[in-house]
Structure 1
């Protein structure tokens, strides 16, 4: 059914963008600051 292909494509694009934006938000808000704090703590302990 070729008439459904544009809707399928639009659905895939929308959900891909939503998923990527959610992953980007979660990483930037929660995971990356935790990794940076851990790295800074390790560097400061090593400098002592």
Structure 2
């Protein structure tokens, strides 16, 4: 496992985008609007979350 055990599942639906820990499927779910998810992806692509 190249992710070091950090795995998430992402589901895209008409209602939005849902993210959860794949090892804890009955645990909490993070819900985002399509716009919020796109902003997150753009920030990740631009290095906004890179550690200095």
Structure with bigger strand share is 2
TM-score (norm. length: structure 1): 0.31
| Structure with more contact order per residue of length (Cα contacts < 8 Å, sep ≥ 6) | 2
TM-score (norm. length: structure 2): 0.29
Which of the pair has more CA radius of gyration? 1
Structure with bigger helix share is 1
